[in-house]
């Protein structure tokens, strides 16, 4: 069973340690720990060699019970990260648990370059998404273990192939200078974990999420038979570090499979033609995606990616670029569908996706619905 700590100044409240601990294999047991003097508690936690540590954002609210706990989660995480940098084999994931919604935006992996946390969880969501969050915590723990296992490798490409569980003869799939340099420069396990999570797992490019695949196949967001369609792509499934936290597929393997189905790149065909070919060849009843903007032949658009806000399959000509300054060259750029822009969905708190300044000129026309029917 994996073990870890939840540091919280509300020491009477066992809600979250209970929700996130579980016995079913592999199991996780979180122990509640109250804040004490900063370097002391950091040394104590580190000395216990936990598999994971969760920190409540506000460790400074319960002054009478914990007079030494006069800091927020950031400084403690920084102390733990510093200790781990000197002992890579003792590194572990750190997550932030908070009741404040704005934290999720402030600490969003791509909103700050100094993020200390592997993931952020809102307290109110922990009880709603318990099963998913437990799976993600195990994914983080085991992902770190994979990184530590292959930490010392002769070449960067070898290291990356081992960590991502990719055979050496497919190393072209990760052979991007920008990625190799980032891996080479990662002098601590948690830094490498961040590079992989931010640039490989959480961005379409080298790997794809199901939202990406659904869009590239032109299948409606809520179509029937998606589980059966997934089976056709089983051999493309990603099985490397963090695979059990986020379900992903290899892009190069997806391309190979779609080439045998369509004899060409699917995104060059109208959406309804793709879906007709899939239904015929795989004996499925998939529904084609519909453009959220054009009303004339809405199923015939060249759907290529999920909108960064609503996640529906979206076409290039009815979308704007999102501001995404940290996107590596090997990743696909995020885009927002015109429907989301018209309805201000990208402005909702927790969903804030900025429109790239180069595309701002069109916003007025989109809002007035006077463009590109």
CB of 343 to Zn ion, least distance (A): 9
Report d(CA 139, CA 242) in Å as an integer: 5
Residue 342: how many other CB atoms lie within 10 Å: 16
Nearer to Zn ion among residue 106 and residue 344 (C-beta): 344
Nearest CA to 119 among 96, 100, 103? 96
Report d(CA 207, CA 288) in Å as an integer: 23
Nearer to Zn ion among residue 118 and residue 212 (C-beta): 212
Nearer to Zn ion among residue 269 and residue 340 (C-beta): 340
Report d(CA 140, CA 117) in Å as an integer: 11
Report d(CA 59, CA 71) in Å as an integer: 6
Nearer to Zn ion among residue 110 and residue 211 (C-beta): 211
Pairing of strands 28-33, 52-56: unpaired
Nearer to Zn ion among residue 6 and residue 337 (C-beta): 337
Nearest CA to 115 among 202, 241, 15, 222? 202
CB of 322 to Zn ion, least distance (A): 11
CB of 317 to Zn ion, least distance (A): 14
Report d(CA 46, CA 63) in Å as an integer: 24
CB of 309 to Zn ion, least distance (A): 5
Nearer to Zn ion among residue 54 and residue 336 (C-beta): 336
Nearer to Zn ion among residue 53 and residue 310 (C-beta): 310
Pairing of strands 303-306, 249-250: unpaired
Q: Is the dihedral of CA 123, 127, 128, 132 positive or negative?
A: positive
CB of 346 to Zn ion, least distance (A): 8
CB of 359 to Zn ion, least distance (A): 14
CA 9 to chain centre: 29
Tokens 């993020």 appear where? 115
CB of 134 to Zn ion, least distance (A): 30
CB of 355 to Zn ion, least distance (A): 12
Name the site residues for Zn ion (rule: CB under 5 A): 307, 309-310, 337, 340
CB of 293 to Zn ion, least distance (A): 10
Please list, in sequence order, all residues whose beta carbon lies within 8 angstroms of the beta carbon of residue 341, skipping any fewer than 6 positions away: 320, 355, 363, 366, 367
Encoding tokens for residue 255? 């391309």
Instruction: Say how many CA atoms lie within 13 Å of 111 toward its Cβ.
Output: 15
User: DSSP code of 58?
Assistant: B
Please list, in sequence order, all residues whose beta carbon lies within 8 angstroms of the beta carbon of residue 294, skipping any fewer than 6 positions away: 301, 318, 372, 373
Report d(CA 101, CA 159) in Å as an integer: 37
Direct distance between the N- and C-terminal alpha carbons of the chain, in angstroms, rounded to an integer: 57
CB of 223 to Zn ion, least distance (A): 17
State whether residue 337 is helix, strand or coil: strand
Tokens 């659904």 appear where? 214
């Amino acid at each position: 069973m994996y073990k870890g700590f939840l540091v919280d100044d509300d020491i009477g409240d066992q809600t979250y340690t209970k929700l996130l601990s579980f016995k079913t294999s592999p199991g996780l047991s979180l122990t509640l720990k109250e804040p004490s003097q900063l370097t002391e508690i950091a040394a104590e936690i580190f000395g216990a060699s936990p598999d994971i540590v969760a920190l409540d954002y506000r460790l400074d609210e319960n002054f009478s019970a914990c007079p030494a706990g006069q800091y927020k989660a950031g400084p403690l995480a920084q102390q733990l990260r510093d200790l781990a940098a000197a002992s890579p084999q003792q590194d572990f994931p750190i997550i932030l648990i908070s009741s404040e919604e704005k934290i999720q935006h402030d600490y969003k992996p791509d909103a700050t370059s100094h993020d200390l946390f592997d993931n952020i969880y809102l307290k109110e969501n922990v009880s709603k998404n318990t099963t998913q969050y437990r799976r993600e915590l195990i994914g983080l723990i085991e992902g770190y273990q994979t990184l530590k296992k292959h930490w010392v490798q002769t070449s960067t490409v070898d290291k990356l192939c081992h960590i991502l569980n990719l055979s050496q003869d497919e190393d072209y799939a990760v052979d991007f200078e920008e990625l190799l340099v980032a891996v080479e420069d990662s002098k601590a396990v948690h830094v490498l974990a961040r590079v992989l999570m931010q640039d490989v797992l959480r961005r379409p490019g080298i790997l794809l999420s199901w939202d990406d695949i659904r869009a590239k196949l032109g299948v409606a967001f809520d179509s029937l038979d998606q589980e059966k369609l997934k089976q056709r792509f089983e051999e493309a499934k990603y099985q490397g570090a963090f695979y059990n936290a986020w379900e992903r597929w290899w892009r190069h393997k997806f391309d190979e499979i779609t080439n045998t189905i369509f004899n060409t790149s699917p995104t060059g065909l109208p959406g309804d033609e793709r879906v007709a070919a899939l239904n015929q060849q795989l004996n499925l009843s998939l529904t084609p995606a519909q453009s959220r903007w054009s009303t004339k032949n809405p199923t015939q658009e060249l759907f290529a990616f999920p909108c960064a806000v609503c996640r529906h399959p979206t076409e290039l000509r009815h979308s704007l670029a999102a501001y995404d300054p940290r996107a590596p060259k090997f990743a696909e750029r995020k885009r927002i569908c015109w429907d989301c822009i018209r309805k201000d969905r990208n402005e909702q708190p927790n969903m804030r996706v900025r429109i790239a300044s180069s595309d701002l000129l069109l916003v007025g026309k989109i809002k007035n619905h006077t463009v590109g029917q």
